[in-house]
Structure 1
Amino acid sequence: MLCVGKKSYFAAAVCIITVTSMLAVSYLRLQTLSHQPKIIQEGRRCRGKIANSTITALKGNKTFIISPYFDDRESKVTRLIGIVHHKDVTQLYCWFCCQHNGKMYVSKAKIDVHSDRFGFPYGAADIVCLEPENCDPTHVSIHQSPHGNIDQLPRFEIKNRKAETFSVDFTVCISAMFGNYNNVLQFIQSMEMYKILGVQKVVIYKNNCSHLMDKVLKFYTEEGTVEVIPWPINSHLRVSSEWYFMQDGTHIGYYGQITALNDCIYRNMERSKFVVLNDADEIILPLKHPNWKTMMNSLQEQNPGTGVFLFENHIFPETVSSGMFNISSWNTVPGVNILQHVYREPDRKDVINPRKMIVDPRKVIQTSVHSVLHAYGNSANVPMDVALIYHCRKALQRDLPRESLIRDTTLWRYNSSLIMNVNKVLSQTMLQAQK
């Protein structure tokens, strides 16, 4: 159609808009078609070695696969949680083998590098592929080409294929344990506080820790509370213990913490009603409710349609002691006794306290450390008079005199149960000193 005649500006504008719209629709249609699965082989058995490592490097293309997950919240896709070089990895393909008919499908992946890279060359990524119809593949292989022989490529089991009923209400995700972690006493106290507050499962991405800490992890694993995910990321990349890039030749920040958190959300999407994202030295303390279950019931009633609840972090310096709860049998156990630290730093002018989260995992698409990047539904900041994060660590405001700190004994509400439970764990792990 030609835009002729009266040559009016209006007609010309309509013409331009129409043509532009047609081109845009055509482009989007081509993009969609390019990502549709295509049959490339028929009448063959599914081959390839099943991957069983937490982190699997793909040869020669700066890509590391953690795990694939089935995701049908919008359309039927396989979403692989991975780590990629943000510039150099531009093209990947999912190879699906359908057991029931022997057909091999290839689907071009959408590579979505998370925005929170903090300057590092490698970052967390979602590698998303449309699944073939009438197949429900159980495994997927990843390759940089839609052609070739993939018999030697690793095959990854696609998790979350079957919807499950929730086996737990709360799962805590802790990432990543590194630096020969040896804060044993505080770790045990955190675990026991989580259990008092209603947690049934704690998932820990472990890079390394001390021998004593390993003993404690073994106890909690056998008890059924802890699931340890090996996290040997420094076998693949030069890792930084900082969260921001310092031009020091490292590849990824804070031992790949963001990747681990995203994997933990998808790993627990079908089995946990809520997922809690915090560190081992952080405890979300409810002020108006006895536990997390009643707190979250109340918060959900007040915030319908909300899937992300953010809690404000407050520092309780480990260098300032109340003098209370100096339990002699704990003195030989490495680590901090949180019951002794009930003085918190005041808010700083023009400084926003970071937050950690309790989320409905089925409403989260991508998360960072202090907020979600993409989600279905709303996020809500939880007021400090409802709950706060007790974070016992080194002081941030180091020059503050003791009288400038705020005495906050909320933690002591749980002291009887906490002391009894910690003593039980110490006795069973043979860490308690001889009386």
Structure 2
Amino acid sequence: MIHCGKKYICAVITCIFMFASILICFWGDLQLQNNITRKIFPEARKFSPENQLCRGKPAENAITALKDNRTFIISPYFDDREGKVTRVIGIVHHEDVKELYCWFCCQPSGNIYVSKAKIDVHSDRFGFPYGTADIVCLEPKTCNPTHVSINQSPHGNIDQLPRFEIKNRKAETFSVDFTVCISAMFGNYNNVLQFIQSVEMYKILGVQKVVIYKNNCSHLMEKVLKFYVEEGTAEIIPWPINSHLNVSSKWHFSMDAKDIGYYGQITALNDCLYRNMQRSKFVVLTDADEIILPLKHPDWKTMMSSLQQQNPGTDIFLFENHIFPETVSTHMFNISSWNSVPGVNILQHVYREPDRKEVFNPRKMIIDPRKVIQTSVHSVLRAYGKSVNVPMDVALVYHCRVPLQADLPRESLIRDTTLWRYNSSLITNVNKVLHQTIL
């Protein structure tokens, strides 16, 4: 016990003890955070190129090849969910690329800070030699970098390195509720009618933005895309991946031994995820011939509100795919003015294939992008939130395409006219687009 002759001396000593206790607790928390950071980035350390300031040529393309031609940079994003890091979405050769460095441009000093990257190649590579990778670097504590360059070495000339703006640096309020990510449009895509119908269905269901990673398409499709861009619905990301790699239109290496599968679809989806992380409440990962069709709700907003209430703490919602073969049609909604437009009229395809017990039905997703770290096509690979498979009586993926069970007779198919609930609005909206673009 401490005996004090004067009360104020006791008070001073008590304050000193309290301050010391707080300092010890703070130091302990700081050491714990440092230990966690070291575990996540065991190789992170600082390099200082001498007498170099922020320079370099700004990257202008959606895909930028580094000098090794084994690394391709899409875009860097600020990510503070596991410490203050820059996460660069890229494509790498999984065997050849072992070492990369982030050259940060610090502000306001203009100095360069270099740190070694953690290269995290996504697990869903499906046998191809090239795969999606997160190139992750700790950011310097002494500045907020606005740009970064990626190099194979901590040494070199900054003037020879492409410079990328670090996106998501500034926090934003959600500008939209739903963003659909479509990747990748390739093969001189010309399914014009079905594309317009899909986009108009997305809008009816509550979508405000559709992001399309476009490799190539027909001249007619270009006119439609231009209309949607000017309307404010579409954002087109050029996707010239075949200028850099020998691409496959198949999903697995065993089907087509090329550099990367399905035109780099997984890379595009991950870029779309981060691109919309701060501006969209939900991101929908799907294809242009697929529509997540609610059965119990009129639109996605009411459906997602209900699903979130029923599944607290869940941020990844997976919807089962069902094939509506384009080879089986009905005479309903045979609209004469549409017959001259290339593509499938989905309103005429309301027979779906039955489930096969021995075959897994893939799923498409509606996700909270802030809770996802890495995604594949039919599932997320790394996430903070929980996943749930949405029951088929709540919603399903309407997928109008070539049949998977081509030998089934018509009477074995299941008539499902859920899509027809929207026929009046859909026909009106599609006609407006066609008259402004094609007819």
TM-score by length of 1: 0.91
Kindly indicate whether the alpha-carbon contact (under 8 Å) linking 1:61 and 1:144 is maintained by their aligned counterparts in 2. no
Aligned residue for 2:178? 170
Query: 1:241-390 alignment to 2 at 5 Å?
Result: 241-246=249-254, 248-390=256-398
1:134 CA drift (Å): 2.7
Once residues 39 and 131 of structure 2 are traced to their aligned partners in structure 1, the CA distance between those partners, rounded to angstroms, is 28
Once residues 45 and 368 of structure 1 are traced to their aligned partners in structure 2, the CA distance between those partners, rounded to angstroms, is 38
Once residues 249 and 400 of structure 1 are traced to their aligned partners in structure 2, the CA distance between those partners, rounded to angstroms, is 32
**For residues 21-51 of structure 1, what are the alpha-carbon distances to aligned partners after superposition, in whole Å with 9 as ceiling and x for unaligned?**
xxxx99x969956303343345x53110000
Q: Does 1:73 align with 2:81?
A: yes
Kindly indicate whether the alpha-carbon contact (under 8 Å) linking 1:61 and 1:89 is maintained by their aligned counterparts in 2. no
**For residues 61-102 of structure 1, what are the alpha-carbon distances to aligned partners after superposition, in whole Å with 9 as ceiling and x for unaligned?**
500000000000110000000000000000000011213123
Kindly indicate whether the alpha-carbon contact (under 8 Å) linking 1:39 and 1:103 is maintained by their aligned counterparts in 2. no
- Out of 55, 64, 68, the residue aligned to residue 56 of structure 1 is 64
Once residues 119 and 395 of structure 1 are traced to their aligned partners in structure 2, the CA distance between those partners, rounded to angstroms, is 26
Once residues 206 and 284 of structure 1 are traced to their aligned partners in structure 2, the CA distance between those partners, rounded to angstroms, is 22
**For residues 384-410 of structure 1, what are the alpha-carbon distances to aligned partners after superposition, in whole Å with 9 as ceiling and x for unaligned?**
000000000000000000000000000
Q: Does 1:95 align with 2:100?
A: no
Once residues 125 and 34 of structure 1 are traced to their aligned partners in structure 2, the CA distance between those partners, rounded to angstroms, is 17
Once residues 294 and 95 of structure 1 are traced to their aligned partners in structure 2, the CA distance between those partners, rounded to angstroms, is 45
Aligned residue for 1:396? 404
Once residues 178 and 39 of structure 2 are traced to their aligned partners in structure 1, the CA distance between those partners, rounded to angstroms, is 43
Q: Does 1:151 align with 2:159?
A: yes
The sequence identity of aligned pairs, in percent, is 81
The structure-2 alpha-carbon separation of the partners of 1:30 and 1:318, relative to structure 1 and needing over 3 Å to count, comes to closer
Kindly indicate whether the alpha-carbon contact (under 8 Å) linking 1:78 and 1:131 is maintained by their aligned counterparts in 2. yes
Q: Does 1:112 align with 2:117?
A: no
Aligned residue for 2:25? none
Q: Does 1:187 align with 2:171?
A: no
Once residues 83 and 161 of structure 2 are traced to their aligned partners in structure 1, the CA distance between those partners, rounded to angstroms, is 26
Once residues 326 and 92 of structure 1 are traced to their aligned partners in structure 2, the CA distance between those partners, rounded to angstroms, is 57
Q: Does 1:34 align with 2:27?
A: no
Q: Secondary structure at the match of 1:40?
A: coil
Q: Secondary structure at the match of 2:281?
A: strand
Kindly indicate whether the alpha-carbon contact (under 8 Å) linking 2:247 and 2:259 is maintained by their aligned counterparts in 1. yes
Once residues 360 and 256 of structure 2 are traced to their aligned partners in structure 1, the CA distance between those partners, rounded to angstroms, is 28
* Number of residues of Structure 1 aligned to a counterpart in Structure 2: 406
1:150 CA drift (Å): 2.1
Aligned residue for 1:414? 422
Once residues 59 and 234 of structure 1 are traced to their aligned partners in structure 2, the CA distance between those partners, rounded to angstroms, is 17
Aligned residue for 1:18? none
Aligned residue for 2:29? none
Q: Secondary structure at the match of 2:433?
A: helix
Once residues 90 and 54 of structure 1 are traced to their aligned partners in structure 2, the CA distance between those partners, rounded to angstroms, is 23
Q: Does 1:142 align with 2:126?
A: no
Letter in 1 for 2:350: V
Once residues 290 and 281 of structure 1 are traced to their aligned partners in structure 2, the CA distance between those partners, rounded to angstroms, is 20
1:295 CA drift (Å): 0.3
Aligned residue for 2:227? 219
1:326 CA drift (Å): 0.4
Letter in 2 for 1:104: I
Once residues 38 and 193 of structure 2 are traced to their aligned partners in structure 1, the CA distance between those partners, rounded to angstroms, is 58
Q: Secondary structure at the match of 2:58?
A: coil
Letter in 2 for 1:305: G
Alignment gaps of 5+ in structure 1: 1-24
Kindly indicate whether the alpha-carbon contact (under 8 Å) linking 1:171 and 1:201 is maintained by their aligned counterparts in 2. yes
Kindly indicate whether the alpha-carbon contact (under 8 Å) linking 1:46 and 1:99 is maintained by their aligned counterparts in 2. no
Once residues 392 and 327 of structure 1 are traced to their aligned partners in structure 2, the CA distance between those partners, rounded to angstroms, is 18
Alignment gaps of 5+ in structure 2: 1-33
Q: Does 1:235 align with 2:246?
A: no
Aligned residue for 1:123? 131
**For residues 192-213 of structure 1, what are the alpha-carbon distances to aligned partners after superposition, in whole Å with 9 as ceiling and x for unaligned?**
0000000000000000000000
Letter in 2 for 1:86: H
Once residues 352 and 336 of structure 2 are traced to their aligned partners in structure 1, the CA distance between those partners, rounded to angstroms, is 24
